[in-house]
Amino acid sequence: MTTFTSTLPDDLMSLLSEKAAKLKLPKNKLIEKALRIYLDQINKAEYVRSYRNFEDDPDILSIAEEGMGDYFKQIKD
């Protein structure tokens, strides 16, 4: 495990301390969990953005329509 040292604004540190005490977690574990959740949300947002970039691409739309046609055929069979 790597050690990371940082500074936080006093108000954020107070909130962190209060929440860690309430949850009975060490502050570093709370930060770790929060960071994992935040990074996961960023990844999901990037994934959604990548699909939005293709919504106006006629080639991608054509491929998607062909795929849906195949899918509906499989459902009927």
What is the rounded CA–CA span in Å between residue 15 and residue 31? 12
Residue with the two structure tokens 């990548």: 50
What is the rounded CA–CA span in Å between residue 13 and residue 1? 23
- Structure confidence at residue 7 as a pLDDT band (50, 70, 90): very high
What is the rounded CA–CA span in Å between residue 62 and residue 71? 14
User: Is it the case that residue 70 has pLDDT exceeding 80?
Assistant: no
User: Is it the case that residue 77 has pLDDT exceeding 80?
Assistant: no
C-alpha distance across the termini of the chain, in Å = 53
Residues 12-38: tens digit of each pLDDT: 999 999 999 999 999 999 999 999 999
Contact of 30 with 16, CB cutoff 8 Å? yes
